[in-house]
């Protein structure tokens, strides 16, 4: 059995044209059903299982086993807390449930730093599934989730289009979409939007990303390494090439996930909204990896502000918001990995949010009648964009090799 599984081809999500051909063919009966007002739940389960299965065959079999174990663990945990919440609401139990829900992810993230190799518990998408599980527990605590069934939770957690890299949905929003079937007119509009997202995703991920990732970024890195560890103009080129590579690759993937979700009758939220047109760093995080930044905003930043206000930890509102910004972005940095470049990346973005708020307060106090114009807005966009490019250079890990492993 194991030999047979290892001999099967492995398809990464949205990784090749053949994957799309097989997926779109498989979706046709589901789309016909939605067009006629029917959602074929069992058929959707079968094709979702099939495409998740082929992601975890071959060399990825251990990850597939970890995924199954993880889903069983999180389902038991979330359902247990949901049943408990119908009776009691102790804070210690809530914190315990949240801790247990993020524990597998913490182990996966800490293992490489502690023992030098990846954890056996890890699999593609564990972060995004953890965000869904933990968010469901938090919304259950808040009384927002009134009904929860185990098979609906598994369907939400393992929703095939978004299982490996998001976008990160919320249970209530997903369940509302899934429990209703769009009208024929609405579904035709969704198909039209889906086709646009898929074509744009192809342009981003398979055309533009090719030039950044295959042609331009490697060439810049080779030139930069010729002068390592001393800075040169090619290092600046690496920063811009990596930024383009990261954006078009990830935005392309997200467009695929949203497009396929729409074909399946689910309006998965968008993940990017012209982030490089942002006039400040706060606006950037409202446009970049939106579902992740909003998850951190709602479940870490806002809850810390609420708790700190309730406990009267701060006498100054600005000190409270600054601390919350730093905490939020440092946790995001650590989430990416226990390395100096991820942690520094989170620190710099937290600091930028603090400085941005201070600047806005300064403007309100000293220039209350000042109105932004096209020139000042262009300068703001230019500064924000280049700050992001600089921090993405740090995030890329290239400087780790540039400074410490160049020989």
- Cα separations (Å) of 37 from 24, 40, 94? 19, 10, 40
Tokens of 241: 């090439």
The rounded Cα 366 to chain-centroid distance in angstroms is 38
The whole-angstrom separation of Cα 211 and Cα 247 is: 13
Spatial neighbors of 199 by CB under 8 A, at least 6 apart, are none
CB atoms within 10 A of CB 296: 19
Positions annotated as catalytic residues are 336
Q: According to the 3-state scheme, what is the secondary structure of 15-47?
A: CCHHHHHHHHHHHHHHHHHHHCCCCCHHHHHHH
Residue from 84, 50, 56, 85 nearest 70 by CA? 56
The whole-angstrom separation of Cα 101 and Cα 71 is: 11
The DSSP symbol for 269 reads P
H or E segment at 368? none
Tokens of 159: 């929703």
The whole-angstrom separation of Cα 147 and Cα 158 is: 19
CB atoms within 10 A of CB 300: 16
Is-contact 94 141, C-beta < 8 A? yes
**Cis peptide leading into residue 198 (ω within 30°):** no
Spatial neighbors of 136 by CB under 8 A, at least 6 apart, are 78, 145, 148, 153, 156, 171
Instruction: Output 91-100 pairs: Cβ under 8 A, ≥24 positions apart.
Output: 94/137, 94/141, 97/137, 98/134, 98/137, 98/138
Longest dimension (CA), the chain: 73
The rounded Cα 394 to chain-centroid distance in angstroms is 19
Can you state the angle between helices 150-157 and 61-85, rounded to 10 degrees? 140
**Cis peptide leading into residue 216 (ω within 30°):** no
């Amino acid at each position: 059995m194991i030999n047979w599984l290892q001999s099967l081809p492995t398809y990464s999500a949205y990784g090749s044209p053949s994957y799309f051909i097989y997926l779109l063919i498989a979706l046709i009966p589901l789309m016909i059903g939605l067009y006629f007002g029917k959602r074929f739940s069992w058929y959707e389960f079968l094709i979702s299982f099939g495409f998740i299965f082929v992601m975890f065959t071959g060399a990825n079999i251990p990850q597939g086993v970890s995924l199954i174990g993880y889903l069983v663990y999180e389902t038991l945990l979330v359902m247990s807390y949901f049943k408990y919440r119908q009776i009691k609401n102790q804070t210690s139990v809530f914190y315990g449930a949240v801790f247990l829900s993020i524990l597998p992810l913490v182990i996966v993230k800490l293992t490489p730093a502690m023992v030098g190799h990846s954890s056996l518990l890890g699999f593609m998408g564990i972060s995004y599934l953890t965000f869904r599980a933990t968010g469901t527990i938090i919304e259950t605590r808040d009384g927002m989730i009134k009904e929860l069934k185990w098979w609906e939770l598994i369907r939400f957690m393992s929703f095939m289009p978004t299982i490996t890299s998001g976008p990160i949905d919320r249970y209530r929003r997903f369940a509302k979409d899934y429990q209703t079937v769009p009208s024929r007119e609405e579904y035709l509009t969704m198909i039209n939007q889906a086709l646009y997202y898929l074509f744009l995703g192809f342009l981003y991920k398979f055309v533009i990303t090719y030039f950044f990732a295959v042609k331009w970024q490697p060439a810049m890195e080779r030139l930069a390494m010729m002068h390592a560890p001393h800075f040169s103009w090619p290092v600046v080129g690496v920063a811009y090439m990596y930024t383009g590579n990261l954006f078009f690759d990830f935005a392309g993937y997200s467009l695929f996930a949203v497009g396929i979700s729409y074909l399946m009758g689910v309006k998965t939220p968008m993940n990017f909204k012209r982030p490089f047109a942002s006039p400040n760093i706060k606006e950037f995080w409202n446009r970049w990896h939106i579902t992740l930044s909003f998850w951190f905003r709602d479940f870490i930043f806002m809850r810390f502000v609420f708790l700190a206000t309730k406990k009267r930890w701060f006498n100054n509102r600005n000190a409270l918001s600054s601390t919350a910004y730093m905490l939020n972005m440092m946790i995001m940095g650590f989430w990416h990995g226990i390395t100096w470049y991820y942690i520094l990346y989170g620190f710099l973005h937290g600091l930028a949010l603090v400085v941005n708020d201070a600047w806005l307060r300064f403007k309100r106090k000293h220039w209350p009648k000042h109105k932004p114009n096209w020139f000042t807005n262009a300068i703001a966009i230019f500064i924000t964009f280049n700050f992001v490019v600089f921090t993405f250079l740090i995030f890329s890990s290239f400087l780790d090799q540039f400074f410490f492993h160049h020989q």
